[in-house]
Amino acid sequence: MKLIMASRFVVLTLAVIRSVNVLASGIDPEVEACIRKNAPEASAIQHIRLRSEGPMFEEKVLTATVYWKHFPTGTSNLLAVFDEPEDISGSRLLFLEKPSGNEIYLYMPALFKVRRITSGRISSSMYGMDFSYEDFQWIYNMLSTAVSEQRPDGEMEGEPMYVLAVTPTEKKSKYQTILSYFDKKSCVIRKVEFYGDGGELRKLLLVEPGGVKPVSGILVPHAFLMRDLKKHSETELTVTAMKVDPPIADAVFDPARLKDSRDIE
């Protein structure tokens, strides 16, 4: 049940991001409707906490506010404003989704300079976490150029799952395939498998079932664990607060305004 390249589907629902350009002929309409019901219409604001640890480094903790907005063009933009730790407080990470290729910009207050993250660095670790810049884009469903398909149903801990597969089209991507497992009862994401060259399982994202909470009438996962199976490290991602479909000005996603120290909200 393949989707053409220009289509998109909800792959990861960390922000429970809505996908509005799906071709219904490419996926079971009931599956599509079930997953869509747990998604904002057009925007979301999340407060998140990232905690990483591994055998080769001490515990790292980051906090940030994430602003996501979907546009009539079918693309989405995302801005992450970091609060902690002190050495990166005020830094901003901007993702602009474009059919020709996503653009990523980083602003660090200490340097007072905005720089662009090139495609060759999308697989680099983001602030030393187990999430790369590419992972962050996948999690927030910024994948309009990806090729998607629905696979045969799977199982997790004895529970039946819908299985969706995505093949990245970005040449610099380190993944060949990404498999997402959705609980068939709630249609909430439960697990994501990231496969690299040769079909090797590189990373595993797990969702804590007890961390799924209702927010404004939709079910939102609040607790995630990303495991890097090669580095033997892991990062917890916790959603500490969320607003569904709040007003967000388009100017928030202007690269020229990343140096603006004023509050966004």
**Digit-coded pLDDT (tens) for 218-227:** 999 999 999 9
Structural tokens at position 170? 């970005």
What does the CA dihedral 213, 216, 217, 219 come to, rounded to 10 degrees? -30
262 vs 224: CA distance, rounded Å: 30
pLDDT bucket at 135, cuts 50 / 70 / 90 = confident
Tally DSSP H helices, then E strands, for the chain: 2, 15
The answer to whether residue 207 is domain-embedded is yes
Q: What is the pLDDT, as a whole number, of residue 143?
A: 64
The answer to whether residue 19 is domain-embedded is no
The answer to whether residue 131 is domain-embedded is yes
Domain count, the chain: 1
137 vs 181: CA distance, rounded Å: 18
pLDDT at residue 25 greater than cutoff 50: no
The answer to whether residue 129 is domain-embedded is yes
Q: What is the mean pLDDT of residues 80-88?
A: 92
Model pLDDT for residues 193-204, shown as the tens digit of each residue: 999 989 999 999
CATH number, residue 145? 2.50.20.10
**58 vs 236: which has the higher pLDDT:** 236
6 vs 145: CA distance, rounded Å: 6
21 vs 109: CA distance, rounded Å: 37
Q: What is the pLDDT, as a whole number, of residue 35?
A: 83
pLDDT at residue 131 greater than cutoff 70: yes
pLDDT at residue 120 greater than cutoff 50: yes
Domain span at residue 197? Answer: 24-244
The answer to whether residue 92 is domain-embedded is yes
The answer to whether residue 101 is domain-embedded is yes
Phi-psi region of 94 (alpha: psi -120 to 50; beta: other; left: phi over 0): beta
CB 59 within 8 A of CB 53: yes
CA R_g for the chain: 17
Model pLDDT for residues 156-167, shown as the tens digit of each residue: 999 999 998 888
pLDDT bucket at 261, cuts 50 / 70 / 90 = low
CB 6 within 8 A of CB 100: no
The answer to whether residue 225 is domain-embedded is yes
The answer to whether residue 9 is domain-embedded is no
11 vs 165: CA distance, rounded Å: 8
Structural tokens at position 27? 């996926």
Closest CA to 147 of 171, 166, 174: 166
